Amino acid sequence: MMRVAFLSKTLLTALLLLSQNLLAQQPVQDGVDMADQLRADGKIWVVVVVIAAVFVGIIVYLVRLDRQLSKLEKEVKDKTNNFHKQAN
C-alpha cells in the first residue's frame, strides 16, 4: 500500500514538472497593451495597492484563524487532561 502511494506521488510530481514547459506562455513581442496603458496613465499603482491589500487581508485572516485554532486546541487538550484526571 505504501509503495503504491509513493509511486503515484512520484508519477504525479514527474508529470507536473514535465508539463511546465508545455503550458508556459510564449514571450510577447509587442508587450501587453493593458499593462502598458496602465503604466502610461499611472494607474498601475492602483493595481499594485489593490493586490497588496488583498494579500494583507489574506495574511490577517490566516493569522486570526491560526490563533482561534490554537485556542480551540488548547481547550480540547485541557478538557481531555481534566477528563483523564477525573477517571483516575
Q: What is the mean pLDDT of the chain?
A: 83
Decide if 24 is inside a domain: no
Residue range 68-83, pLDDT digits in tens: 999 999 999 999 888 8
Whole-number Å distance between alpha carbons of 77 and 4: 35
Tally of domains in the chain: 1
State yes or no: pLDDT of 20 exceeds 60: yes
Q: For residue 51, what are the domain limits?
A: 34-88
Average pLDDT, integer, range 34-57:
89
pLDDT at 48: 92
64 falls within a domain? yes
Burial class (CB in 10 A: 0-12, 13-18, 19+), 38: middle
- Give pLDDT tens digits for 28-44: 666 678 878 888 888 88
DSSP string, 17-40: HHHHHHHPPPPPSS--HHHHHHHH
Which pLDDT does position 69 carry in this prediction?
A: 96
Q: In angstroms, rounded to a whole number, what is the distance separating the alpha carbons of residues 30 and 10?
A: 40
Alpha helix (H) ranges present in 24-88? 33-41, 44-87
Position 18 in a domain: no
pTM: 0.54
